[in-house]
Chain A
Amino acid sequence: MTEAVMEPKVKTAPKIVEPTIFNLSSPGRTGVTMPASDVPETALPPQELLRADLPLPELAEVDVVRHYMHLSKFNYSVDSGYYPLGSCTMKYNPKINEDTARLPGFLFTHPLQPIETVQGNLALMFNLQEWLKEIAGFAAVTLQPAAGAHGEFTGVLMMRAYHKSRGDTRRTKMLIPDAAHGTNPASVGMMGMQVVTIPSDERGNVDLKALEAACDDTVVGMMLTNPNTLGLFDEHIEQVIALVHGCGGLMYGDGANLNALLGIVRPGDLGFDVMHFNLHKTFSVPHGGGGPGVGPVGVAAHLADFLPEPLVGVVEDGDDAQPPLYGFVRPAQSIGRMKAFHGHFGGGFVRSYTYIAMHGPDGLKDIAQYAVLNANYLQARLRDTYKIPFDRVCMHEFVAEGRFKDSDVRALDISKRLMDYNFHPPTNYFPLIVHEALMIEPTETENKDTLDAFADTMIKIAEEARTQPELLHDAPSTTQFGRMDEVKAARELVLCCWLPDNYKDE
């Protein structure tokens, strides 16, 4: 059964659970109004430069609040429940972060203000650069990239610029393991480079023979997630890096899984040349329903000159009486600017700074240790019920197969059934090298009771799959909404709504 096959087929008009903001509009209703002008009036420009109509909705404030409150209740969230979503690190988002990010000194500063008036912002950015360098073992960090994928793109641009600066122009191939996130090859595709896929071996490590065969003087480098998307730390990581370096390539680390490494090992110490951080995963910036992310990039010393501009630096040294003056500096061979301004300061840097400051070195190590403890505990509890294709001590996540012998139940059905028990599903169908993958990342912020309840439910669902598979095929049944007609959405492509046709202006 695919998602497209839906019973019953609905022919009548769909039932509206919550009208759109446009449907709620009523001519002449007003919400927030603005003060009258306090300056002498200037004539507006000629009519032909003006718009005739502004077809936005008209509502009172209470209408808007009720509408969005209704919508909020249709969402699952970390604040309301458990999200064992592999590769996404859906940890608890501390409430203090919401308050520090909204301090007026941060909210109401303009990115182009004179540096003398924003020393607090610049000190925060400078320290965050320093802390990220220390945590991951790099020589320099840019905070500018807006998300993990943006950081990857930044990193690949720097790798290209590095080779080019050495007159090494033959390098066009990027080595990417078969377990990689889709953003890795997509970032490389944006650069016009070719992707060479490297298989995994039977223990979930990079296949060293295949890697060795692929390493030559046309290799830009390798993009590796470690621990990988199976949740496994590569047992030959030093050999992998030595092979890539040996052919003149650079080693890119996808920092998606850095939560497992805090205080455990620094990627820079292992020999990674460049890595992006996902502050929205590792350092508790909330996911916001899909963004904003935050994707700083760290580099080893030989790549520091290629970082995007500008970086925060000390422009005048301090002394006993005076703090240093922070300002902006331009790396000598910068790849350029990745974003209009300095990155996701308020939503990203302030929250991450708060989080790192509160954890300190020991707290960071606790994060990784308990994230790994929780993952191994769940793996141990589920091992007898679900096949774990690469079964060894995992890091912060593991991947199980969501299928059973002599059953047509798929990973998708298990996921949807979990919703009936008020759990968010694990990541499905990724990584691609596991059949019917269920990728489970508990994070460190779940207690044993929650993990046990989740494991018990998973075991119960496996039993249901054998005895009452229709419960899984029809799931979810207890949620406000059921399975979606994805084909209809793509075929009809209704992407916007408007004020109703008969809408009259007052």
Chain B
Amino acid sequence: MTYIPISPHERDAMLETIGVKSLDDLFEAVPAKHRFPNLNLPPALTEMEAMNELSGLAQANENVRSDLISFLGAGMYNHYIPSVVDHILRRGEFYTAYTPYQPEISQGTLQAIFEYQSLMAALTGMDVSNASHYDGATATAEAVNLAYAQFRGKRKKVVISPTVHPHYRAVIRTYAQGMELEIAGDEQSLVSNLDVATDSTETLISLTDDKTCLVIVQYPDFFGRVYDYTKLIDAAHARGALVCVVANPTALALFKTPGAMGADIVVGEGQPLGIPMWYGGPSVGFFTTRKSYVHKMAGRLVGETIDNRGQRAYVLTLTAREQHIKRERATSNICTNQGLIALGTAVYLSVLGKKGLRQVAELCYQKAHYAASQLSQIDGMGLCFTEPFFHEFALCVNRPVKEVNNHLLDHGIIGGYDLGQDYPALKDHMLIAVTEMNSKQDIDVLVEVLSEVSHD
């Protein structure tokens, strides 16, 4: 079926007004030999048939709410989403609106983004936030663009911690292909020989020099560990470089903010804030910074103003930075934000608020620590770090992770991320994530099944 609301009679009247005989006559500019191809696609479905087909596909998956217990994180997390979030997102006034270029009739979207910006600045401890990026990885890549532009391309080195998410590091390398940028800190040799027992702060400081525009670290790092980066940030600033902290937003409800450590840019994946995992997206990349860097920041930005009736209102501002004005001189080609997802995040933060978000963070912390203490008692298994951690930790399982995870899956459990894929030194280690969605019983089952593995 189609959604075309024009009857054959109306169509004919319109063709007559235009002065052509048939619909096909409208396409004479198209080369005749390629005109009207036969598309080899399945025949059209009615709504009922489409719903059946899509339901079948969805049911062919095993999901982490009703089918499986999951301890998988590594950048996307299974959190509870209050009902109210989706009720707001389903409002046609929000989801079927266009980009708010006409502020007189877009104040709903504009004020919601302004509030999202405010909530993210409050959470990260920074001055300003933009209206969002595609995801955490691309937001991090945009931090590189900001820093590169801040020094007008004169500082061409980026120092990145090997404990930043491997996919984020990959995306930065993809983005940097045309930029003549040197990326140091996560070279294969450093990653392969990663001494996981020691803090990499000193290595990162030693790599940071007067050609460095940006130092990037993750908080908690990819292995879940929480460091105070103040010393690193001070050292980077002493060499004139900016520092970007890739942060988990749930952790920020509990831990010291990167803003308080002196970070210049705080980015991250906003999915934990009320957005379903949705097999990887769409989610939302948040980007917050100091006010002094706002002119070099990519992406949309909403600012407060008044209308000609004296009412407080909001507009897209500093648009002169953007591609439709600056074209090839723009810092970034970005021309969307994750508007609807950012709205979901704002609703989530509003409805949980000061107390609720802290509760979520503490539940994650408590349950992860319970799981870690129980798992580390299993013969032959153990934690490989002693540093404070939030809701993820690396567990040594002393045999191939794939084997262990296959066994867990037979028992209805998705085990942790296989760290050996990215870190040869962490062969036989899995990264286990625990959130408020994991009950004590889930954790006890995991411990029980893993105990069986260790005794096999």
Contact = CB atoms under 8 A, between A and B. Distances in A.
Please classify how large the interface on chain A is, using the bins under 10, 10 to 19, 20 to 34, 35 or more.
35 or more
Contacts of A342: 279-281
Contacts of B36: 263-265, 365
A78 B338 contact: no
A165 interface: no
Interface stretch (B48-56, B200-208, B231-239, B377-385): B48-56
B356 A34 contact: yes
Given A291-B338, A336-B170, 10 more contacts: A15-B311, A39-B443, A68-B88, A108-B64, A238-B31, A269-B37, A270-B31, A289-B99, A373-B14, A496-B128
Contacts of A358: 1-2, 44-47, 50
A247 interface: no
A252 interface: no
A7 B308 CA distance: 7
A396 to B, nearest CB: 10
A59 B99 CA distance: 28
Contacts of A77: 92-97
B102 A419 contact: yes
B196 interface: no
Interface stretch (A297-305, A403-411, A460-468, A473-481): A473-481
Contacts of A286: 95-96, 340
Contacts of B53: 357
12 contacts: A34-B356, A37-B362, A105-B60, A120-B57, A147-B335, A149-B333, A238-B31, A337-B137, A342-B280, A490-B318, A493-B318, A498-B122
Given A341-B281, A360-B44, A290 B337 contact: yes
B197 interface: no
A48 B54 contact: no
A37 B367 CA distance: 8
A124 interface: yes
A484 B332 contact: no
Interface of A, helix, strand, loop or mixed by DSSP? loop
A54 B362 CA distance: 13
Contacts of B30: 233, 264-265
Interface residues of B, number: 209
A186 B327 CA distance: 5
B353 A58 contact: yes
A135 B62 contact: no
A108 B78 contact: yes
A-B residue pairs, 10 tightest by C-beta: A341-B280, A105-B58, A360-B44, A346-B278, A288-B340, A79-B92, A120-B60, A111-B280, A191-B178, A186-B323
Interface in B57-101: 57-68, 70, 72, 74-76, 78, 80, 82, 84, 86-88, 90-100
A112 interface: yes
A332 interface: no
Most buried by B among A182, A183, A481: A481
B306 A485 contact: yes
B307 interface: yes
